[in-house]
């Protein structure tokens, strides 16, 4: 069922066999163009430089890790995950604690790693608009996204709770820095969901995947949507009439984690340290418009000013955004998701 | 006398061997059903009573009572399944009737056209509907250029789109058994009915239609059951607003720490389905009994 991509860097192993003959790690990620970008920018060059043999797989997310850990048959050493689900997996005890004596995070953005998950790339949840409908001057805030008189047209919104409540509160007048304290109760969550109820008749589609966001904009099915910035860049490259703004966007990241009981735990730690170095991270934007999590990647000269200006994690763009709070997701996501589904099924 | 008795014993032995043979031949299938059906379903029941902390608990069922969304999701699931089955009958029965009256060669050609979509992936067919039905899709563009309507109408990302997609996918499951039942009917019965003075309509409803009921029942049942577990079509064509049980099972697996949160949904769906079928079969038997009394 799972496509197993076996990547053997035999040349690299032969070259450095003296010091890393039997070291190997199995990495699972999401596949598609995302994993391709990771592979080209991070895994393959790091494997060549360290002599660690890298086996790549695709997987279905933390539920796979849960199954492996609970059945005691862990085969994965490193998994790529969304930050929120990694935080919940960590709370469940499914992940190894990262060893920051091995992994150097001194030049990382402090909000882009936890004890259990190391940031790999930064993306934003943004609002995007159809430039045919609204021109270049589309909505500039979440309040605009909610303003169907100023911006008449259909919307698409996320069908799951992650990244769906923060915009609603900002549209309701809550300052970005207060969003998570307001959300820290069922009443606060209900307030956000009520705000979405207000807009619901104008929401034509509740999207469930990144591919769907791009398709909705490309086909002109909706005039405005929320979504992940990289998807809209790809859609625009394909000719979609779409623009987005980083103002009030949610700054989020994907991260690498090590499942509890991973067969090559120590090698995995070393390998995570390797792929976090700026010399690998600065190549990632060449393959996908997601930013590095290591600040130092901006200093190598590989990321031009023009490219940096378009990345979610560039200092200018990051300053406009609300960083997603993993603590909130670990504490509330399950409850909020059930409340969100009530709104969806009404 | 003696010879007969010996023969009797021989026959009895033969019969016993025959039964043993049949059992032997049947046992691999029974074993398979036990392994791939009974054991997993039993396991599903068991897991649904395990809470997040790994002990026996009713929390997975309590959650379904506490949150209104669960009742609504089950309601949507049965609503979509009933409507799809009903629409399939409305569209499929007349079509099967029409095809069954055609000369063999043309009928076979028609059946191939009915079957053709079967050989295309479900996902492809579902996305094809999305392309056809969306705001700037073919249906809206053509209808507007022909002046049928001025503004694009909403026929996808809602219940309408879901039903269109599901009826299209389910139609062959209804047409084939109904067609089979119709072909098996001796058409001379209709002539006999007319001969006895029945109008064509009366001949159809009192003679033909009751004879197609087993096929219709089998087809409707198949469509209904398949609909209950549908995932792809409502997920793609429902616009995130038509949420069926299968979709909720997936989101619960991702959301909750324990498998039981998803298993309990499966158990409730199974029990509800069996209950509905039981009621339906009683109803149908009654129907047949009254039909026989005429």
Encode pLDDT of A97-156 as tens digits. 999 999 999 999 888 899 999 999 999 999 999 999 999 989 999 999 999 999 999 999
Q: Are A31 and A209 in contact (CB under 8 A)?
A: no
In this structure, the number of other CB atoms found within 10 A of the CB of residue A108 comes to 20
Q: Does the pLDDT at position A14 exceed 70?
A: no
* Domains of chain A, first to last: 4-122+253-319 (3.40.190.10), 124-251+325-345 (3.40.190.10)
* Residue B251 to residue B261: CA distance in whole angstroms: 10
Q: Which of A63, A85, A344 sits opposite B243 (nearest CB)?
A: A344
pLDDT digits (tens, 9 = 90+) for A27-46: 999 877 788 889 999 999 99
Nearest CA in chain B to A339: B67
Q: How far is B88 from chain A (nearest CA, A)?
A: 25
What is the token pair recorded at B234? 């409502």
Question: Mean pLDDT over residues A314-343, rounded?
Answer: 91
Higher pLDDT, A276 or B214: A276
Q: Is the dihedral of CA A115, A121, A124, A125 positive or negative?
A: negative
What was the pLDDT predicted at A185?
96
Count of residues in chain B: 294
Mean pLDDT of B149-170: 94
Q: Comparing A9-18, A268-277, A301-310, which segment has the lowest mean pLDDT?
A: A9-18
Residues of A within 8 A of B256 (CB-CB) are 334
Nearest CA in chain B to A89: B257
B54 touches chain A (CB under 8 A): no
ipTM of this predicted complex? 0.82
Q: Looking at residue A10, what is its pLDDT?
A: 42
**Candidate from A62, A219, A342 with C-beta closest to B67:** A342
Q: Which residues of A touch B (CB under 8 A)?
A: 61-63, 66, 85, 92, 154, 159-160, 204-208, 219-221, 333-334, 337-338, 341-342, 344-346
C-alpha B227/C-alpha B242 separation (Å) is 13
Which neighbouring-strand residues pair with A224?
Answer: A129, A155
**Comparing C-alpha atoms, which of A27, A85, A110 is closest to residue A294?**
A110
> Tell me, what's the pLDDT at A85?
85
A155 and A129 Cβ atoms separated by less than 8 Å: no
Q: What is the pLDDT of residue B287?
A: 55
CB B84 within 8 A of CB B168: no
pLDDT given for residue B6 in this prediction:
67
Q: Note every long-range contact of B179-186, with CB atoms under 8 Å and residues 24 or more positions apart, other chains counting.
A: B179/B96, B179/B99, B179/B100, B179/B111, B179/B215, B180/B215, B181/B211, B181/B212, B181/B213, B181/B214, B181/B215, B181/B216, B182/B96, B182/B97, B182/B100, B182/B208, B182/B212, B182/B215, B183/B100, B185/B211, B185/B212
**From CA B223, how far away is CA B234, in angstroms rounded?**
15
Residues 6+ apart with CB under 8 A from A187: none
Q: What pLDDT score does A315 carry?
A: 81
Distance CA B198, CA B294 (A): 14
B72 in reach of chain A (CB within 8 A): yes
Q: Which residues of A touch B137 (CB under 8 A)?
A: 219
**How many residue contacts between A and B have a Cβ separation below 8 Å?**
60
Query: Is residue A107 within 8 Å of A278, Cβ to Cβ?
Result: yes
pTM tops 0.90, yes or no: no
pLDDT at B289 > cutoff 60: no
Handedness of CA A195, A197, A201, A202 (dihedral sign): positive
A60, burial (CB in 10 Å: exposed 0-12, middle 13-18, buried 19+): middle
Say if residue B288's pLDDT is above 80.
no
Question: How many C-beta neighbours within 10 Å does residue A144 have?
Answer: 19
Whether A210 has a pLDDT exceeding 90, the answer reads no
pLDDT in tens, B77-106: 999 999 999 999 999 999 999 999 999 999
Mean residue pLDDT of chain A comes to: 90
Find the closest chain B residue to A221 by CA distance. B135
Structure tokens at B100: 């069954």
Count of Cβ atoms closer than 10 Å to residue A184 Cβ: 15
Residue given tokens 């001194």 in the structure block? A106
**What was the pLDDT predicted at B116?**
87
* Min Cα–Cα distance to chain B from A217, Å: 11
pLDDT, residue A251, reads 93
CB contacts under 8 A, B 208-247 vs A, are 235, 239-241, 243
**Confidence class for position A21, pLDDT limits 50, 70, 90:** low
- Provide the β-strand partners of residue A203: A155
Taking only the tens place, the pLDDT of each residue in A160-193 is 999 999 999 999 999 999 999 999 999 999 999 9
What's the mean pLDDT in A260-265? Answer: 96
Dmax (CA) of chain A: 69
CA terminus-to-terminus distance, chain B: 51
Cβ pair A345:B135 closer than 8 A: no
Task: Assign B5 a pLDDT band (cuts: 50, 70, 90).
Answer: low
- For residue B290, pLDDT beyond 50: no
Q: What is the reported pLDDT for A20?
A: 47
In which band, very low, low, confident or very high, does the pLDDT at B278 lie, cut at 50, 70 and 90?
confident
- The residues near B11 (Cβ < 8 Å, ≥ 6 apart) are none
pLDDT of A235 above 90: no
Q: Tell me whether B251 touches chain A (CB under 8 Å).
A: yes
Provide the H-helix boundaries in B34-158: 39-48, 59-66, 68-100, 104-115, 122-133, 138-145
- pLDDT, tens digit, 9 for 90 and up, residues B32-84: 989 998 999 999 999 999 988 888 999 999 999 999 999 999 999 999 999 99
- Rg for chain A (alpha carbons), in Å? 20
B250 and chain A in contact, CB less than 8 A: no
The band of A337, judged by pLDDT with boundaries at 50, 70 and 90, is: very high
């Amino acid at each position: 069922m799972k496509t197993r991509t076996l990547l053997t860097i035999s040349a690299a192993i032969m070259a450095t066999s003296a010091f890393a003959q039997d070291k190997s790690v199995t990495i699972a990620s999401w596949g598609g163009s995302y994993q391709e970008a990771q592979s080209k920018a991070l895994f393959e060059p790091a494997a060549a430089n360290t002599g660690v043999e890298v086996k790549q797989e695709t997987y279905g997310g933390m539920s796979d890790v849960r199954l492996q850990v609970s059945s005691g048959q862990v085969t994965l050493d490193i998994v790529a995950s969304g930050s929120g689900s990694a935080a919940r997996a960590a709370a469940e005890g499914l992940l190894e604690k990262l060893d920051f004596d091995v992994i150097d995070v001194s030049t990382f953005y402090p909000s882009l790693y936890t004890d259990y998950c190391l940031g790999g790339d930064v993306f934003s949840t943004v609002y995007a608009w159809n430039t045919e409908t609204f021109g270049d001057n589309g909505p500039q805030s979440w309040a605009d996204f909610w303003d169907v008189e100023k911006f008449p047209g259909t919307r698409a919104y996320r069908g799951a709770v992650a990244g769906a409540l923060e915009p609603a509160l900002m549209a309701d007048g809550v300052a970005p820095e207060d969003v998570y304290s307001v959300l820290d109760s069922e009443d606060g969550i209900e307030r956000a969901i009520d705000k979405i109820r207000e807009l619901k008749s104008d929401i034509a589609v509740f999207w469930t995947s990144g591919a769907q966001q791009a398709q909705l904009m490309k086909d002109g099915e909706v005039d405005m949507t929320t979504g992940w910035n990289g998807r809209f860049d790809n859609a625009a490259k394909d000719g979609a009439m779409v623009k987005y703004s980083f103002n009030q966007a949610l700054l989020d990241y994907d991260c690498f984690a090590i499942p509890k009981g991973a067969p090559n735990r120590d090698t995995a730690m070393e390998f995570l340290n390797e792929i976090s170095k700026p010399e690998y991270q600065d190549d990632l934007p060449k393959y996908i418009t997601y930013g590095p999590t290591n600040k130092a990647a901006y200093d190598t000269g590989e990321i031009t000013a023009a490219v940096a200006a378009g990345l979610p994690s560039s200092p200018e763009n990051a300053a406009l955004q609300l960083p997603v709070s993993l603590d909130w997701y670990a504490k509330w996501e399950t409850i909020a998701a059930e409340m969100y589904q009530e709104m969806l099924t009404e | 006398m003696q010879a007969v008795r010996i023969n009797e014993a021989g026959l009895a032995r033969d019969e016993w061997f025959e039964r043993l043979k049949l059992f032997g031949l049947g046992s691999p299938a029974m074993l398979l059903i036990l392994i791939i059906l009974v054991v997993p379903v039993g396991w599903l029941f068991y897991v649904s009573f395990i809470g997040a902390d790994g002990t026996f608990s009713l929390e997975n069922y309590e959650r379904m009572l506490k949150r209104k969304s669960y009742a609504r999701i089950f309601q949507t699931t049965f609503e979509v399944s009933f409507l799809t089955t009903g629409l399939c009958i409305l569209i499929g029965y007349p079509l099967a009737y029409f095809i069954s009256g055609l000369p063999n060669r043309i009928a076979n050609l028609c059946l191939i056209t009915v079957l053709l979509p079967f050989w295309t992936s479900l996902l492809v067919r579902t996305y094809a509907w999305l392309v056809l039905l969306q705001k700037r899709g073919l249906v809206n563009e053509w209808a507007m250029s022909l002046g049928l309507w001025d503004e694009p109408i909403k026929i996808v990302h809602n219940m309408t789109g879901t039903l269109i997609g599901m009826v299209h996918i389910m139609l062959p499951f209804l047409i084939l058994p109904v067609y089979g039942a119709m072909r098996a009917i001796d058409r001379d019965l209709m002539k006999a009915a007319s001969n006895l003075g029945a109008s064509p309509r009366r001949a159809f409803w009192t003679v033909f239609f009751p004879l197609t009921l087993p096929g219709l029942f089998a087809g409707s049942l198949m469509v209904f059951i398949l609909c209950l577990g549908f995932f792809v079509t409502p997920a793609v064509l429902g616009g995130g607003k038509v949420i069926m049980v299968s979709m909720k099972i997936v989101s619960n697996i991702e959301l909750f720490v324990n498998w039981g949160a998803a298993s309990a949904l499966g158990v409730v769906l199974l029990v509800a389905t069996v209950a509905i079928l039981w009621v339906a079969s009683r109803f149908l038997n009654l129907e047949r009994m009254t039909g026989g009394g005429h």
